[in-house]
Amino acid sequence: MNFRELGLEERLLEGIDAMGYETATPVQAQVIQPILAGRDIIASAQTGTGKTAAFLLPIVHKMLTQQHSSHHINALIIVPTRELAIQIAETMEGLSYFTDISCIAVYGGGDGNSFTAEKKALSSGVDMVVCTPGRMIAHLNMGYVKMQEVKYLVLDEADRMLDMGFNDDIMKIISFLPKQRQNLLFSATMPSKMRDLARKLLQNPAEINIAVSKPPEQIVQQAFVVYEPQKIPLIKYVLNNSDYTRVIIFCSKKQNVKQLSSELKRAKFSVEEIHSDLLQDKREQVMQDFRNRKLKILVATDILSRGIDIEEIELVINYDVPNDGEDYIHRIGRTARAATSGTAITFISEAEQRKFAQIETLLGKQVDKLIVPEQFGAAPEYAPRSHKPMGNRRPNQGGGNRPSLRPNKPRPNNSRPSNQGPNNQTNP
């Protein structure tokens, strides 16, 4: 569907054209018209489906064509992370370039100057606010935020916000809003707690389901089955024996991000880390360097698995197996965007085998297991039914008791495929 067929305001169409958009994605085609008609929405749609524009476009159109207050907040978008808040605000800046609609991103981690700028906008009035829950509550507690005229409330990545424990914060923010408003709830998944939230907030909503998609076919999915101490040496091997120029490595814990990033820096790789301990200025600089190709490798927590929109990421490595299949799809979906190809490699320790088998069940197929090169020693067999989860037992990853890599084990000459390793596919 062409955007002009949706009947959007001409200045908004100019912004769409300037950003290079031509046709609406499935979620945009299904969501925009009900929002224009004033319906509450509950939509299941993943990152990368175009859902940001799906709610921004009709909200901006309605602001341009209907009366709204110039001295109050008119639209409030609540998101789980700073990165997503920044990305939505940047998308809004492009789409609304030819209009006079104002927008500010409100998130923690900045300095006193950023808080002062946020306070000025929230007290004097701004058309649209994109915020993280904690930062908005900090402003609300000081009594100057003009919420009385909010007409549009958007909860984006709502399932992730609930997973992060923001339910009470969300409900507190909503308690400041007028009861008469349009509510738009976007989520990648629809667990029971999401349904409970929807029942509290939405009035006769239109329900749109863009099915939880399998990873794009152009993503080459591979895995190494390893002992935990083999992960870092093997990642160095993969990076040294490939010509990828833009790589994201996901870790499930900040400690793993820090350790791996430090090891790769010592090995002279072009790498930086992203996690919640970094000051916001540093995080923004790292992301800018990555976008501008001054930086080759990002090591990150799942803070980047949703809400980051950088094209031409050629390789995603899962240092840790994600907690569930949908997180896996979000992580590897950072590659092969905009119809390009990409590679995703997952490192599976003994304790993670059952978890990865559940991901394969969701995928409906087995992920190709690559042979660990002989110089790293023998690797465990992939037998997920025989490996029990470790529970609260911490894997031995460092310190004086760290096990050494197992000694080389002779292999028959025919045990290795001729094109083994991470490059047994055509590089993008």
Checking if the pLDDT of 396 tops 60, the result is: no
Least confident segment among 47-51, 91-95, 118-122: 47-51
Checking if the pLDDT of 392 tops 60, the result is: no
Checking if the pLDDT of 48 tops 70, the result is: no
Looking at the fold, whether 175 and 199 belong to one and the same domain comes out as yes
Checking if the pLDDT of 376 tops 90, the result is: yes
Looking at the fold, whether 198 and 179 belong to one and the same domain comes out as yes
pLDDT top residue among 130 and 336: 130
- One-letter amino acid at 96 equals S
Please report the pLDDT score of residue 181 as a whole number: 96
Please report the pLDDT score of residue 37 as a whole number: 96
**Quick one: average pLDDT of 160-167?**
90
**Quick one: average pLDDT of 320-330?**
80
Task: Please answer whether residues 269 and 275 qualify as being in contact, where contact means their C-beta atoms are separated by less than 8 angstroms.
Answer: no
Query: What percentage of residues in the chain have a pLDDT greater than 90?
Result: 56
SS3 131: strand
Looking at the fold, whether 346 and 262 belong to one and the same domain comes out as yes
Please report the pLDDT score of residue 24 as a whole number: 87
Task: Please answer whether residues 63 and 75 qualify as being in contact, where contact means their C-beta atoms are separated by less than 8 angstroms.
Answer: yes
Looking at the fold, whether 174 and 229 belong to one and the same domain comes out as no
Please report the pLDDT score of residue 369 as a whole number: 96
Looking at the fold, whether 147 and 44 belong to one and the same domain comes out as yes
Looking at the fold, whether 170 and 308 belong to one and the same domain comes out as no
Q: How far apart are CA 176 and CA 38, in angstroms?
A: 21
**Quick one: average pLDDT of 191-195?**
86
Residue linked to tokens 């050629």: 314
Give the pLDDT band of residue 326 (cuts 50, 70, 90).
low
End of a domain among 189, 209, 229?
209
**Quick one: average pLDDT of 160-171?**
92
End of a domain among 209, 241, 274?
209
Looking at the fold, whether 278 and 411 belong to one and the same domain comes out as yes
Checking if the pLDDT of 420 tops 70, the result is: no
Q: Which two tokens stand for residue 413?
A: 């000459």
Looking at the fold, whether 65 and 137 belong to one and the same domain comes out as yes
Checking if the pLDDT of 237 tops 90, the result is: yes
Q: Is residue 425 part of a domain?
A: no
Q: Is residue 41 part of a domain?
A: yes
Strands, sheet with 297-300, edge to edge from the N-terminal-most edge strand:
271-274, 297-300, 247-250, 315-318, 342-348, 219-225, 368-370
Give the pLDDT band of residue 373 (cuts 50, 70, 90).
very high
Nearest-Å Rg of the Cα atoms of the chain is 23
Query: What percentage of residues in the chain have a pLDDT greater than 70?
Result: 85
Q: Is residue 428 part of a domain?
A: no
Please report the pLDDT score of residue 400 as a whole number: 33
Least confident segment among 2-16, 132-146, 179-193, 392-406: 392-406
pLDDT digits (tens, 9 = 90+) for 206-234: 999 876 567 777 899 999 999 999 999 99
Please report the pLDDT score of residue 419 as a whole number: 37
**Quick one: average pLDDT of 36-64?**
89
DSSP state of 148: T
Residue linked to tokens 């299949």: 325
User: How close are the terminal C-alpha atoms of the chain, in Å?
Assistant: 30
Q: Is residue 274 part of a domain?
A: yes
**Quick one: average pLDDT of 181-193?**
89
Least confident segment among 76-85, 261-270, 327-336, 385-394: 385-394
Phi, psi for 396 (deg, rounded to 5): -85, 105
Distance of CA 159 to the CA centre of its chain: 12
Q: Is 266 left (phi over 0), alpha (psi -120 to 50) or beta?
A: alpha
**Quick one: average pLDDT of 381-391?**
67
Exposure string of 191-218, with b = 16+ CB inside 10 Å and e = fewer, is eeebeebbeebbeebbebebeeeebbee
Q: How far apart are CA 145 and CA 284, in angstroms?
A: 26
Please report the pLDDT score of residue 205 as a whole number: 95
Q: Is residue 427 part of a domain?
A: no
End of a domain among 209, 244, 266?
209
SS3 80: coil
Looking at the fold, whether 176 and 244 belong to one and the same domain comes out as no
Q: Is residue 329 part of a domain?
A: yes
Please report the pLDDT score of residue 416 as a whole number: 35
Q: Where are the beta strands (DSSP E) in 269-367?
A: 271-274, 297-300, 315-318, 342-348
Q: Is residue 422 part of a domain?
A: no
- One-letter amino acid at 221 equals Q
pLDDT digits (tens, 9 = 90+) for 62-106: 999 998 877 899 999 999 988 889 989 999 999 999 999 999 999
Range of the domain at 143: 3-209
Looking at the fold, whether 336 and 247 belong to one and the same domain comes out as yes
DSSP state of 3: G
CATH number at residue 341: 3.40.50.300
The H-assigned helical ranges of 145-292 are 158-163, 167-174, 192-201, 231-240, 254-266, 280-291
Looking at the fold, whether 22 and 67 belong to one and the same domain comes out as yes
Give the pLDDT band of residue 366 (cuts 50, 70, 90).
very high
pLDDT top residue among 302 and 372: 372
Please report the pLDDT score of residue 362 as a whole number: 78
Looking at the fold, whether 268 and 202 belong to one and the same domain comes out as no
DSSP string, 372-389: PPGGG-------GGG---
- Average pLDDT, rounded, for the chain: 84
The total number of structural domains that make up the chain: 2
Distance of CA 95 to the CA centre of its chain: 21
Please report the pLDDT score of residue 418 as a whole number: 34
Bridge partners of residue 315, in order along the sequence: 247, 343
Residues 6+ apart with CB under 8 A from 293: 245, 246
Q: Is residue 421 part of a domain?
A: no
